[in-house]
Structure 1
């Protein structure tokens, strides 16, 4: 009945299914699938030293960890350690073993600062603090009952703006990359993000197995995308907003509301019944939009930080 920690075996379906099962039990607000797990593994850059670890007890995966150096951060030495344990197996040492293995791996590859998302619950926070992590910013998980919610009425775009979908950019998605790079760099967070590699963006985001190009709404002005709401879908029921952003020179015009509301209306018409999204607790404008749309906070995570050395 000893717990062991090892690398995920991506060629073993039982490993992929076990990893996904634990993540959904521990964090039901974020959707994983074997396909998205393999997608992430296929994109691992050598300099990120990324690993997917599993804790195994009696042949069953009871804990998982995503570990690596932040690949899009302009600051070297920033790593991430996200550990989740099956709630039915909590308190058996799996989390501690995963954290220890993750920290040893990242320290060996030059990590100086580690970031971990921790559920805002007493037991989870106490675990992080026992391991030397200190709390930082927080973020919310929000959910919307698409089947029963009264969405705000659809609105016409302002003068000079037209609505498109990501599918309209299938032949050349580079304009969406430019918008994502600008909007993403302004998102609040502990780890700064810079998208500079177009091909890497295509592989990671444009070819993500859950990206729904038809339901991703894009506002276009003067021939270029100026706002978008990125939709991920799965199994015809679950809809997730992966990103909503507006170009700096078009903010304050209600375009984020416009594109997200249009995407949600079309998702409901397509039969999706539950909508999920995430929101940094300090991003007041986006939180106000989500509240206007009818989202409700279901859980909160706290970003914990540990300095190495």
Structure 2
């Protein structure tokens, strides 16, 4: 049995579904569908040089890699490599082959620093260290049992605040882009991302197949969104995920992000979703506290690993 690594063919259904299946098995805390895999492959910004890879054994996709430049960072030369292999197909050399192929491609693009998220488990961390990566900051995955858990009551909406859904901005989503850009700049992390390209945001984020406009909730003051909770959903598996939660700087401290997220979660449960997932940098203590008050529990941790290229 020979393992080969090749480019993902996004228009081939077996490739997109195979990629999504590997990710669901290896990383069940993030939503992946064949449609989302295809969308990311076709609509990620060209400057990212996004090249998803698959490891194939006897015609079956057993491993995956997301490979691209951090093109929207203020620091040039950073490449992102996230490798996952089906848990029941490890030990066949797929992971190492994916890493080497990804590194060669990013090095050819002038990358000098590689970053990779690795699940905080002994085998995963040992694999990363064998390939020259050192551990850096960490982040938690959190899970909420929507079907059987207890959500806090829906909080009262302040008199000067109006709640709107993402669908209310369908004709003009620019205000949500502006809020997304401001809150993204303040997210803790070892890569500082900036959102400046509205058309690219429309193509990649606003038209993302997992984005649920009816469950995305924004708190608005004087008609302007000042806090929001962005929802991704996969109705086929009844799973819900928070893609982003944040508040404009001038409106922080009023509990508006929690307000938006609580309303979104109540709507998700009413719509029949059974599980909710979210993720937080371990340094983002305010958001972790909010999520724990909402009933989330930490279910896994991942550690960013870094390798400097000479």
- The alignment partner of 1:193 has SS state of coil
- The alignment partner of 1:298 has SS state of strand
Give the match for residue 141 of structure 1. 141
- The alignment partner of 2:191 has SS state of coil
Q: Measure the CA separation in 1 of the matches of 2:5 and 2:199.
A: 34
Shift in Å at residue 222 of structure 1?
A: 2.1
- Residues 260-300 of structure 1 show CA distances to partners (whole Å, capped at 9, x for unaligned) of 00100111111111111111111000000000000011111
* 1:48-59 alignment runs, 5 A limit: 48-59=48-59
Give the match for residue 285 of structure 2. 284
Q: Measure the CA separation in 2 of the matches of 1:42 and 1:58.
A: 26
Give the match for residue 307 of structure 1. 308
- The alignment partner of 1:106 has SS state of helix
Give the match for residue 180 of structure 1. 180
Give the match for residue 275 of structure 2. 274
Give the match for residue 255 of structure 2. 254
Give the match for residue 4 of structure 2. 4
- Residues 159-203 of structure 1 show CA distances to partners (whole Å, capped at 9, x for unaligned) of 311111111111111000000000011001111111001111111
Q: Measure the CA separation in 1 of the matches of 2:154 and 2:136.
A: 37
- Residues 196-219 of structure 1 show CA distances to partners (whole Å, capped at 9, x for unaligned) of 011111111111111111111110
The gaps in structure 2 that reach 5 residues or longer are none
Shift in Å at residue 59 of structure 1?
A: 1.6
Does the Cα contact within 8 Å between 2:44 and 2:204 map onto a contact in 1? no
TM-score, normalised via structure 1 length: 0.98
Instruction: Report the aligned-residue RMSD.
Output: 1.0
TM-score, normalised via structure 2 length: 0.98
Q: Which has the larger displacement, 16-25 or 104-113? A: 16-25
Give the match for residue 239 of structure 2. 238
- Residues 26-64 of structure 1 show CA distances to partners (whole Å, capped at 9, x for unaligned) of 111111111111111112333322111111112211110
- The alignment partner of 1:51 has SS state of coil
Give the match for residue 15 of structure 2. 15
Give the match for residue 223 of structure 2. 223
Q: How many residues are treated as equivalent by the alignment?
A: 309
- Residues 235-257 of structure 1 show CA distances to partners (whole Å, capped at 9, x for unaligned) of 26111111000000000111111
Give the match for residue 106 of structure 2. 106
Moved segments of 4+, more than 2 Å = 44-47
Q: Measure the CA separation in 1 of the matches of 2:268 and 2:10.
A: 32
Q: Measure the CA separation in 1 of the matches of 2:46 and 2:219.
A: 36
Q: Which has the larger displacement, 260-269 or 158-167? A: 158-167
Does the Cα contact within 8 Å between 2:146 and 2:274 map onto a contact in 1? yes
Shift in Å at residue 100 of structure 1?
A: 0.3
Does the Cα contact within 8 Å between 2:11 and 2:38 map onto a contact in 1? no
Shift in Å at residue 305 of structure 1?
A: 0.5
Give the match for residue 265 of structure 2. 264
The gaps in structure 1 that reach 5 residues or longer are none
Q: Measure the CA separation in 1 of the matches of 2:45 and 2:222.
A: 36
- Residues 111-133 of structure 1 show CA distances to partners (whole Å, capped at 9, x for unaligned) of 01110000000110011011111
* 1:287-298 alignment runs, 5 A limit: 287-298=288-299
Does the Cα contact within 8 Å between 2:230 and 2:244 map onto a contact in 1? yes
Q: Measure the CA separation in 2 of the matches of 1:82 and 1:170.
A: 33
